[in-house]
């Protein structure tokens, strides 16, 4: 939308649709969670942060540039990791590039539910990384966004 819309364009806006779906069956409920994507679970991370010694949640965000990062001032913590795909800040320790299994591996836990939110292409890639890491598909939840028709 940033690249295509101009002042005066009309846009149809709808409320949220869809749901998080799991990749596998027979999911055993787990308390810890890992979120690979940022919207709509920032509120969950804020809630987890109110828990003493918060270790249940970790948010991994993939974004093109620092200017594209929403909640930037809230993601400068040990429970959040930002991956830049096109341009990174000067103090970044990781080279720019798409999200990889190596980016996710440090945060994977066998007792966690893994939430993925993003475009279909991102959701497919992130899901594939988790499956390739041996994550039980029953612990993977996916929410895709994009055109609805």
State the burial class of residue 148 (Cβ atoms within 10 Å of its Cβ: 0-12, 13-18, 19+). exposed
Give the chain's largest Cα–Cα span.
Answer: 50
CATH fold of 30-145 reads Rossmann fold (3.40.50)
Mean pLDDT estimate for the chain: 81
pLDDT over 80 (residue 88) = yes
Residue 12's pLDDT is what? 75
Q: Enumerate the domain spans of the chain.
A: 30-145
Question: Which is higher by pLDDT, 123 or 2?
Answer: 123
């Amino acid at each position: 939308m940033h690249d295509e819309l101009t002042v005066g364009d009309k846009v149809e806006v709808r409320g949220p649709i869809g749901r998080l779906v799991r990749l596998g069956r027979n999911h055993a409920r787990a308390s810890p969670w890992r979120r690979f994507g940022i919207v709509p679970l920032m509120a969950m991370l804020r809630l987890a942060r109110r828990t003493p010694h918060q270790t249940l949640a970790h948010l991994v965000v993939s974004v093109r540039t620092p200017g594209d990062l929403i909640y930037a001032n809230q993601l400068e913590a040990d429970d959040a990791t930002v991956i830049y795909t096109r341009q990174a800040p000067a103090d970044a320790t990781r080279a720019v590039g798409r999200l990889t299994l190596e980016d996710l591996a440090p945060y994977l836990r066998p007792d966690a539910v893994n939430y993925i939110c993003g475009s279909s292409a991102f959701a497919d890639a992130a899901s594939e990384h988790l499956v390739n890491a041996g994550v039980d598909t029953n612990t993977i939840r996916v929410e895709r966004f994009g055109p609805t028709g």
